[in-house]
Amino acid sequence: MESRASEAQARKVLAANDKGSYTAPAPNLYPHQWLWDSCFVAIGLAHYQPRRAMIEISSLLDAQWQNGMIPHMIFAAKTPYWIGHRFWRSWRSSAAPQHIGTSGITQPPLVAIAALAVADKLTPGERVVWLRQVYPSLLAYHRWLYRERDPHNTGLVVLIHPWESGLDNSPVWMEVLKRIPNPLWLGTFFRLKLDKLINGFRSDVHSVLMHQRLSEVEAVRLLHRAILLRQQNYDSYLILQKNHLLVEDLTFNSLLITANRALFDIATLINEELPSDLNLRTQKTEQALEELWDETSGQYYSRNFRTQKLVKTPTIATFMPLYSGTISPERAQRLRSLLTNPTAYWPLYPVPSASLSSDYFDQHRFWQGPTWINTNWFIIKGLEHYNFAAEAIHLRQTTLGLIEKTGFREYYSPLTGEGLGASDFSWTAALYIELINSKVGPSLTRS
Ligand code: 9WN
């Protein structure tokens, strides 16, 4: 359905990808349910089908693990997939649900944000019923994040796999991965150049050109890391003790701050109070974000959990603290200058996922250069929050214009606007609807 975009076309994309209880991210390439994709879809659907948006979120919560984790992928029955149910084997963990197969890791925690966005579009009576229904699960998820992923009570949540960040092969994660030695067998596998064999199993490179996806070496290493987690039965305590690919991810923690605020707003709307220990930890996250700031380069970075060193590789993540809304106006001002530097992040079709001046930059390669609509949406919201009106308007217009010119693609070349990755991509359609219909304004959530 590749054609010039309009709101009606966007709705058609979402309808075509609708699987009943969830919306597949893209036809052919991604047939199952993904956590943050469904949140973006719900935010878009809320504008015209709030009841269908509720179903999108409920189906995520239906797959929640007993320990509170919401998994990053939820598998539809009888739908073969190269890294599907049989690969993940969620049954290895006693916390996994019995009735449905899922992955064993999570993804950016946008559920409370999406649930609140949907609530906004309901009648006051429906709103309270809806929020009462989802609140216990959302609370359990945020408690899980702090209990199992912030072992030293620093406020920063630790991710155990690049897929959890949603920005899979982002240079940050590839830098950390590069420094972790391969086991002997994997080193030999790479030396013999057997990594190309992986393409026989990869369904992603059947529908998208190879140079737009993960490289073979990246794909093999990510799969290997996921197998290690499986062997550890997805036990966070064990994983945090033993593993080395552990990152206090900047994007995830920035989004978590806004999600915590959404959870707080939800509690207030239904006359509940967040448990005091959770309140303290959420405040800590806001403060701890400052530990990720590097004064010399004027940027935020992720931190390697093992070495406690910042991973000083410039990526789009540096702008996500704008979306948290809790950084100082001075820091926000420095981020604005960096963002609008045409040699770094402000080409014709901003915002590239890696700086144009980074060694990693590749205009076609997945999270190593292309412009994505979800990260643009976070940045637009952040710019609006800090009242950087001119930049926010420019980015809104270039983002909508890019989609209108090229269609609902998964990502785009920041230099030429060429559409890349999957076509008819759900979150691009959903956020197009959201951008067209949402008010330009400073609020990230209610409070
Ligand atoms: C692995 C579905 C997902 C997105 C991620 C994006 C990509 C999966 C993949 O697609 O990841 O989770 O197979 O590469 O990186 O952000 O949620 O759209």
Q: What is the residue-wise DSSP string for 16-28?
A: HTB-SSSB-SBTT
Residues framing ligand 1 (Cβ under 6 A)? 25, 30, 34, 36-37, 163, 166, 168, 204
Res. 447 pLDDT band, cuts 50 70 90: very low
The catalytic residues are: 168, 410
Q: To the nearest whole number, what is the mean pLDDT of the chain? A: 96
pLDDT of 446 strictly over 70: no
CA of 389 to the centre of ligand 1 (A): 31
Instruction: Identify the residue whose C-alpha is closest to ligand 1 atom 3.
Output: 34
Instruction: Identify the residue whose C-alpha is closest to ligand 1 atom 6.
Output: 166
For residue 35, which atom of ligand 1 is closest to its CA?
A: 17
Res. 4 pLDDT band, cuts 50 70 90: low
Strand partners, 352: 371
CA of 366 to the centre of ligand 1 (A): 10
**pLDDT attached to residue 224:** 96
In 3D space, the residue among 115, 114, 70, 118 whose CA is nearest the CA of residue 95 turns out to be: 70
**pLDDT attached to residue 443:** 64
Instruction: Identify the residue whose C-alpha is closest to ligand 1 atom 14.
Output: 168
For 344-380, the DSSP string reads TT-SSS--BSB-TTSTT--TTSTTSS-B-HHHHHHHH
pLDDT of 225 strictly over 50: yes
For the entire predicted model, the pTM comes to 0.97
CA dihedral 8, 9, 14, 19 (to 10 degrees): 110
Q: How much is the average pLDDT of 422-426? A: 98
Tell me the C-alpha distance between 233 and 239, whole Å.
9
Burial (CB count within 10 angstroms: exposed 0-12, middle 13-18, buried 19+), residue 346: buried
**pLDDT attached to residue 203:** 85
pLDDT digits (tens, 9 = 90+) for 74-87: 999 999 899 999 99
For residue 83, which atom of ligand 1 is closest to its CA?
A: 13
